[in-house]
Amino acid sequence: MPINYEQMMQSKSTGLEASYGDREVMLYALGIGFQRDPMNEQELPFTYENDLQVVPTFATVIPTGRSRSGDSGGRAMSGINYLMVVHGEQRVQIHKPLPPACDVISDTRVIGVWDKGKDKGAIIVNERVIKEKATGDKLATLVGTTFARGDGGFGGPKDGAPEPHQLPTRAPDLVQACDTRADQAFIYALSGDRNPLHRDPKVAKMAGFPRPILHGLCSYGTACRAVISTLAKYDPKKITSFDVRFSSPVFPGETIVTEMWVDGSVVSFRSKLKERDVVVLNNGKCTLAS
């Protein structure tokens, strides 16, 4: 069944209630590689409950929750072949520093669907706005792009899809390597994404991989860790947005090397693998607070 464009564009859920606490915040930080060195006091604020700080990309794992009517906020991916779906891009805008514990309300909607052609797939862009329940203040806006490889040719619009951020052509101003552990996907899965592709060797082989791959959003968080530990000087409040395009998978245990270009408050970046010289995150854009 082809994508139902009109139905998908009307898809939205409002008033989805959830909560998180310091346990989830610290577990996420460990899942993206903080505190490898237990003596690194600069990273303690992300992994220790005293004066706990929140990594901005934690916004991507804040639970969606349910509405008072019981709606879980599931996206109306009408007609989508889920076996052919991949995460294409992720953008996070931080409106207010994320508190270490919070009751939240989320609104989600589909903001665009583009038809790239019968053999080229479809692009679906979803938005989630996360607000603090007590005040109604916006905390973060998440925009995620889904590439549905098997669902092109449904007759939707062909032009107007978001364009990727262009990286400078000069040599990077800064390079930071971040390791990943062989068991990192098991730790990161506890932040919410329990897709067996990332832990079960049999499932990974069925999907065409020699072994389980790391979550794309774990690689994304690791790149944010690279920026926090260098340009942001371990102050997460300095990062106000973090956008990226996913290029290739990472195998747990590989080293993610992030190249950064600094132009005022804009940090362009991409991430490669030290072991295979493959670009895994591309067209990255991080905005720093003035």
Place of tokens 């669907």: 113
Measured CA to CA, the distance from residue 243 to residue 268 in angstroms comes to 9
Q: At what angle do helices 216-228 and 22-31 cross, to 10 degrees?
A: 90
Q: What tokens appear for 11 in the block?
A: 């898809």
Q: Which two tokens stand for residue 145?
A: 């792009």
Catalytic residue list contains 193: yes
Which of 115, 151, 198, 243 is flagged as catalytic? 198
How many CA within 13 A on the CB side of residue 101?
Answer: 7
Which residue out of 193, 215, 263, 277 is catalytically annotated? Answer: 193
Q: How far is CA 67 from the centre of its chain?
A: 23
In the residue annotation, 198 being an active-site residue is answered as yes
DSSP H or E segment with residue 228: helix 216-228
Distances from the Cα of 268 to the Cα of 116, 202, 262, angstroms: 27, 37, 7
CB 245 within 8 A of CB 87: no
- Residue whose entry in the numeric block shows the structure tokens 């909607």: 109
**What is the phi/psi pair of residue 107, to 5°?**
-120, 130
Copy the structure tokens of residue 2: 């082809």
User: Catalytic amino acids?
Assistant: 193, 198
